[in-house]
Amino acid sequence: MMRQVRRPAAPPPGAPAPQYGGGVPRQPSYVDGQGHDGYDSGYNTGQVYGGGGPGGPGAPAGTRAPRPAPNWGRRIKVGAITLAAVLVVTSVATYFWADSKLNRDVDLSQVIDRPSEGEGTNYLIVGSDSRKGMSSEDKKRLHTGSAEGQRTDSVMILHVGSNGDTLISLPRDSDVVVPSYKGSTSGKVYPATGRHAKLNATYAEDGPTLLTRTVEYNTGLRIDHYVEIGFAGFANIVDAVGGVDIKIDKGFKDKYSGADFQAGEQTLNGEQALAFVRTRHAFAASDLERTKNQQKFLAALAHQVATPSTVLNPFKFYPTMGAGLDSLSVDKDMGLFDLASMFWAMKGVNGGDGTSLNMPVSGSVGGNLVWDKAKVKTLVDELKNDEKVTVSGN
């Protein structure tokens, strides 16, 4: 059965309406007879749903509210911060990539009885005839031959100081006294016997440490860093940079190095560059003339590497850096900043901001070039005291 609902009695006629819900006020009455009493909730103008208001769906075409003006100051600031962050990340990544490619193979701590340190920094820069990693075809193409052992094709001392940088070429046929030294592999100390030899023969005898020891003993100048590059590495660097522009004053040929050059401005590739810096048989001054060509070419190479077309082009910069770093053997204490300092000093010296010369020579004995002892002493004293060099070479 359905339960009967009991409704309250209706109020008598004329009685005020009861409060809704025990306290809910009455709704306002409509006093204008049309349902309006002056109250506007916004529905009738379309302001709630957008109809009829400015920029709303019902507004006439072309009356959309204007966009706020772009904040260019903020955009530029954000762009600058983003660019700076990208450059920092790229620089850090490049640094660690390059540092990992350095071959720190030479331990100068094995060099005994070293001269005292002087002012500035001295680099021993060596171009060896190493054929490491070269195929038979490479040896034929680059005219290197297949000689056993290993010798130096060029030896230079670069002094970097506050009174001008100096690059000194030491002819590989220089007559030197072989001092006592510690074997790089045996650890045995070999006493001095007063033996004379060509400078490049000391490298063949016991490598970079004996070469460094011999240079220090015969000059009295302490070597701070050692840098070496072989035949293949040299050619690869030149090719990676896209060739090197150089002016040859007088044409020459040499069947031993493969050189065949006309006078004038030209661009040398890796094969031609190696022939240019190795040639000596074509010159009356032989090794002395070759060292001058080596200095000249290194200047041109440094200039080529430092041009914006190389530095700002990642497709050229990274291959060049990779080829160069892969090809170098340096001492264990060499850092990238040391290498950069050496590079810029070489560029400056050969660009006229420093001094370049051959080691002063007074004559020859048995086919070996004898250094001028008086001039060498003056030169070394000026370098150790970081003074401007006044000595001239051959």
Give the tens place of pLDDT for each residue, 275-294: 998 888 888 777 788 888 88
Q: What pLDDT was estimated at residue 326? A: 77
Lowest mean pLDDT among 55-59, 244-248, 309-313: 55-59
Banded model confidence at residue 114, pLDDT cuts 50, 70, 90:
very high
pLDDT above 50 for 43 = no
**pLDDT score recorded for residue 333:** 93
> Within 13 Å of residue 292, how many CA atoms lie on the same side as its CB?
10
For residues 258-269, b (16+ Cβ closer than 10 Å) or e, as one string? bbebeeeeeebe
Rounded (5°) CA angle 224-227-232: 175
CATH 3.40.630.190 fits domain 105-385:
yes
| CA-angle at 144, arms to 225 and 344, nearest 5° | 30
- What angle do helix axes 336-348 and 72-101 make, rounded to 10 degrees? 90
Q: Which of 21-25, 71-75, 267-271 has the lowest mean pLDDT?
A: 21-25
CB 133 within 8 A of CB 142: no
Q: Which tops the pLDDT comparison, 243 or 15?
A: 243
Q: How far apart are CA 25 and CA 247, in angstroms?
A: 106
The pLDDT value given to residue 332? 94
- Taking each continuous run of H as one helix and of E as one strand, the counts in the chain are 10, 17
How far apart, in whole angstroms, are the C-alpha atoms of residue 191 and residue 147?
A: 29
What does pLDDT average to over the chain? 80
Of 50-59, 130-139, 175-184, 297-306, least confident by mean pLDDT is: 50-59
pLDDT digits (tens, 9 = 90+) for 77-104: 778 888 778 777 776 776 666 677 778 8
> How far apart (Å, rounded) are the C-alpha atoms in residues 178 and 192?
7
In the DSSP assignment, the letter for residue 351 is: I
Could you report the per-residue pLDDT of 147-182, keeping only the tens digit for each?
Answer: 555 667 789 999 999 888 999 999 989 999 999 999
How many residues make up the chain in this entry? 394
Q: What is the pLDDT of residues 295-323, one digit of tens each?
A: 888 888 887 887 777 777 777 777 777 77
Query: What's the rounded mean pLDDT across residues 32-38?
Result: 50
pTM confidence score: 0.73
Which residues partner with 152 through β-bridges? 128
Confidence of residue 370 (pLDDT cuts 50, 70, 90): very high
Between 209 and 42, where is the model more confident? 209
Show me where the domains of the chain are located. Answer: 105-385
Rounded Cα gap, residues 238 and 320, in angstroms:
8
Residue ranges in 154-230 assigned as alpha helix (H)? 199-219
Residue 352, pLDDT > 80, answer no
Rounded Cα distance between 342 and 154, Å, is: 17
State the pairing for strand pair 244-248/264-268.
Answer: antiparallel
